[in-house]
Amino acid sequence: MTRLRILLMLLIPPILLFLCALMIIWLPLPQPFPPALSRGRNLMSAIVTGILGAGYIVGLALYVVATFLRAGRVLDPVLASAGMVSKSYLVFGRQYQGVLEGREVEVYFVPSSGIRPAQLNVYVAADIGMRVAMGWRRPLLDCGNCERLEAAGAELRGVQVYAQEEERAGRLLNDAASSEAIARLLADQEAYGIREIYLQPERVWLRARPQGMNGKRFRQWLDDVLVLAEASEKAFEALSE
């Protein structure tokens, strides 16, 4: 809806300005205005449309900037209200840092602009001691040399899992709470955008290109990442004893 509104603002005002310029040039006006189609009338048309055009450009720029800044703050109701510190990130985005459920959490969000999709990265600290990459397609950013692991359970059917520590990763995937969290984090990618999950020795990382981001959906994703962090630590501790 926002993109359609911006597109209409790009198309309609210039057309109206063009029609306004033609009317000023062609319409007969009383004295002391110059005659229609005269050089003086052309100059008057150029001045009027120039002033209106400059105002339009300034107004459009302010509207676009305000729209992107507002879109970048879509997570504020969830994260700022939870006490996380936020600041600007990559001009229109926001980054958040804080502690949730006893864990350090970092969130980076940049809204979509033009053909570039939105970007969301969620990092939750966890002492995992292993590397695992999960996604509906082959995850590319980590665990490049990992072996593929067959995910157990109907909820993870089709999910591609690559792990360095097969036994630890298998224990994690067989845990009901963690497998359900993984399934929710990776579900409905056509509707809500591409997502990948990376377990790294010191954290859980959710990488997403979300579509139609809103606070309620993000809160569910964040809760699932926290669940996954807790389950990953337990799997690591169980095999370390």
Contact 231, 177 (CB under 8 A): yes
Span 112-117, mean pLDDT? 80
**For 147-166, what is each residue's pLDDT tens digit?**
888 876 778 888 999 998 88
CA 24-26-32 angle, 5° bins = 65
Cα separation of the two ends of the chain:
54
Task: State the DSSP string of 4-54.
Answer: HHHHHHHHHHHHHHHHHHHHHHHS---TTSPPTTSHHHHHHHHHHHHHHHH
Q: How far, rounded to the nearest angstrom, does the alpha carbon of residue 228 sit from its chain's CA centroid?
A: 21
Burial 204-228 (b: 16+ CB within 10 A, else e): bbbbbbbeebeeeebeebbebbbbb
What are the beta bridge partners of residue 106?
Answer: 97, 123
d(CA 70, CA 85): 17
User: What pLDDT was estimated at residue 67?
Assistant: 63
pLDDT of 227 above 90? yes
Span 65-84, mean pLDDT? 80
Q: Spell out the domain ranges in the chain.
A: 2-71, 74-240
**For 32-72, what is each residue's pLDDT tens digit?**
888 888 888 888 888 988 998 898 888 878 776 666 666 66
**For 170-226, what is each residue's pLDDT tens digit?**
888 888 889 999 999 999 998 999 999 999 999 999 999 999 888 999 999 999 999
User: What pLDDT was estimated at residue 69?
Assistant: 61
Predicted model pTM: 0.77
pLDDT of 238 above 80? no
Structural tokens at position 185:
């984090």
Work out the number of other CB atoms within 10 angstroms of the CB of residue 105: 23
Comparison of pLDDT for 8 and 181, the residue scoring more: 181
CATH number of 74-240: 3.30.1460
- Give the amino acid at 211: Q
Structural tokens at position 205:
């990382």
